[in-house]
Amino acid sequence: MKHIGWLLAALILSSGCNSAIGPNQADGNDCNVVLSETACAPTSYCDPGDRVNGVYPRRHTYGLLRDGSHVVGTCKPKGGAGAACMGPDSCISTICLHSPTETTEAKGVCK
């Protein structure tokens, strides 16, 4: 019975539940916003979604003591000209245009 407890603990620790989300995720998968350029495949970007009261609502907590965390997004294909964007990493052209009269949280348009 003692060995089963150790086996279960080893399985939990090695399952990835206690680590950050890795780089190069496929479209539709969760991604680590902190990794920005490498979070998703090269033709995709990590979209954290819209902020709620200035904060991104999805977070991934990890670590043995649950002391690590990062914002979670979703991998999406980069947009072409005219697609909505939040920053240069979400556009194929790497150019996201924002109106000077909009707030910094407003979406722009890919060039």
**Interval 8-24: pLDDT, tens:** 444 444 444 577 788 89
Is there a single domain that holds both residue 41 and residue 91?
no
Share of the chain above pLDDT 90, in %: 34
What pLDDT was estimated at residue 95? 95
**Which tokens go with 58?**
């999805």
Is there a single domain that holds both residue 19 and residue 63?
yes
Is there a single domain that holds both residue 37 and residue 89?
no
What pLDDT was estimated at residue 44? 94
Residue 79: how many other CB atoms lie within 10 Å: 17
Is there a single domain that holds both residue 66 and residue 87?
no
0.85 surpassed by pTM: no
Mean pLDDT, range 50-75, rounded to an integer: 84
What pLDDT was estimated at residue 1? 52
Q: Which residues contact 10 (CB under 8 A, 6 or more apart)?
A: none
Looking at the DSSP assignment, which residues form a beta bridge with residue 108?
A: 85
Is there a single domain that holds both residue 73 and residue 90?
no
Is there a single domain that holds both residue 41 and residue 61?
yes
Look up the domain containing 11 and give its range: 2-77
Q: Which residues contact 94 (CB under 8 A, 6 or more apart)?
A: 88
Instruction: Yes or no: say if 44 and 74 are a contact pair by the CB < 8 Å rule.
Output: no
Mean pLDDT, range 28-33, rounded to an integer: 91
Is there a single domain that holds both residue 6 and residue 31?
yes
Provide the number of structural domains found in the chain. 2
Is there a single domain that holds both residue 17 and residue 37?
yes
Is there a single domain that holds both residue 58 and residue 92?
no
What pLDDT was estimated at residue 92? 94
**Which tokens go with 50?**
């819209």
